[in-house]
Amino acid sequence: MKHMLQLYSAQKSFGSKKVLLDVSLGLSKGEILGLFGPNGSGKSTLLKILFGTLKADAIDLRINEQPISPESVIPEQYIGYLPQDSFLPKRLKVRDIIPLFFEHGDDQDAIFRAPFVEKITAQVAGTLSMGELRYLELLLIANLDHPFLLLDEPFSMIEPLYKEKIKEFLFVLKEKKGILLTDHYYQDVLEVSDRNMVLKDGVSYPAAKEQDLINLGYLR
Amino acid sequence: MWTYYRDVTLYALTICLLFGIASAPVRESVAGGIITTLVVFAVFGTGLGVLGFHYFQKQQYYMYYNLGYTKRYLISRVWFINFTLGCFFALLLSPFI
């Protein structure tokens, strides 16, 4: 059972710019970890490093204290990742996209029966609203078997109705996954997160509440 | 996986078809031109198709990553299938040169 993801001392530079100097984190199954930081602080970089699509200069990644190679994250499906930008084929209908993610009828039904999905199944992905698209993408990725999930700005540009649905879904989802969540809509993140951390000057700091975000310079 | 194959191969076929049409005037026979186009498709087509996919549909890689497919896995499978098909049809047409 994979229930603890650990990252120690991740470092990453782009040329002479050092984005991540010393970033460590632990993520357990059953918790949502909020990640904050100003634009350019390396949040997305960190998520891509964890997902294995960006090579770190130095990294020690472990699951249940067992070292794993970042290159194995995708093929072994250790971690799911919701990127900032939409990734679904825009010309396909929702009802044709769902079987791309799930072979079995029962798994497909779980998506087809999810709130809001039934009314959009005949629509082409490119015509969905931002909220519908984001919610659908989250549902698709979250229902895959990854024990850990990285969500990059799931609340951005989302209408309130879908935002609430996403929050409700995350509360249910964390029972079976560990979730790392980053978004500038900090109140939404604080509402669902169990712990938080701030990336500042390439280093990760724990932040328990809103006041810590102020103290660490993320908020005024 | 199939959708990736289809998308990349459509770009590859389009580019190779344009190459075949553009180079038609310098070919000695139609069959020779088709075989050359098939060989170009077999060897370079996937690479060109991947460039097209990268340019227009790059973000979709995240769908495949989440499904457990790495870029290397996807590209190598598409290349293998298209190389095999391209060579097969080129050999099939070779008696007509």
Q: Residue A40 — left, alpha, or beta (φ > 0 → left; ψ -120 to 50 → alpha)? A: left
Find the closest chain B residue to A82 by CA distance: B62
The residues of chain B scoring below 70 in pLDDT are none
Both tokens of residue A72?
């194995």
| B69 in contact with chain A, both atoms CB, cutoff 8 A | yes
The residue ranges of every structural domain in chain A are 4-215
- Residue A140: list chain B partners with CB under 8 A: 66
End-to-end CA distance of chain B: 36
Which residues on chain A are in Cβ contact (under 8 Å) with B73?
75
pLDDT at residue A83 is higher than 70: yes
User: Residue A1 above 70 pLDDT?
Assistant: no
Rg (CA), chain A: 17
Across the interface, of A77, A86, A146, the residue whose CB is closest to B59 is A86
Q: What's the token pair of residue B8? A: 């990349």
Which chain B residue is nearest to residue A76, measuring alpha carbons?
A: B68
Is the predicted pLDDT of residue A12 greater than 70, yes or no? yes
Residue A19 backbone phi and psi in degrees, to 5: -90, -45
* Per-residue pLDDT band at A2 (split at 50, 70, 90): low
Q: Which backbone phi and psi does B67 adopt, to 5 degrees? A: -85, 0
pLDDT band per the 50, 70, 90 thresholds, residue A209: confident
Q: Which of B3, B59, B68 sits opposite A87 (nearest CB)?
A: B59
* Shortest Cα distance, chain B CAs vs residue A145, angstroms: 9
| Residues contacting residue A77 through CB under 8 Å, at least 6 positions apart | A144, A145, A146, B68
Residue A68 pLDDT > 80:
yes
Arithmetic mean of pLDDT, A150-168: 90
pLDDT at A124: 96
d(Cα B93, Cα B32) in Å, to the nearest integer? Answer: 9
CB contact under 8 A, A87 and B63: yes
In the sheet with A148-152, reading across from the earlier edge strand, the strands are A66-67, A58-63, A4-14, A17-28, A203-207, A195-200, A32-36, A178-182, A148-152, A79-82
Inter-chain touch A80–B66, beta carbons under 8 Å: yes
Nearest to A148 by CA among A180, A196, A170: A180
Q: What is the per-residue pLDDT across A27-38, written as a single tens digit (0 to 9) for each?
A: 999 999 999 999
Q: Which of residues 8-47 of A touch B (CB under 8 A)?
A: none
- For A4-215, which CATH superfamily applies? P-loop containing nucleotide triphosphate hydrolases (3.40.50.300)
pLDDT at site A208 = 86
Please identify among residues 41-60 of chain B the ones whose CB lies closer than 8 Å to any CB of chain A.
57, 59-60
The answer to whether the CB atoms of A74 and B3 lie below 8 A apart is no
Check if B65 contacts A (Cβ < 8 Å): yes
C-alpha–C-alpha distance, residues A53 and B65, integer Å? 9
Question: Given pLDDT bands bounded at 50, 70 and 90, which one contains residue A210?
Answer: confident
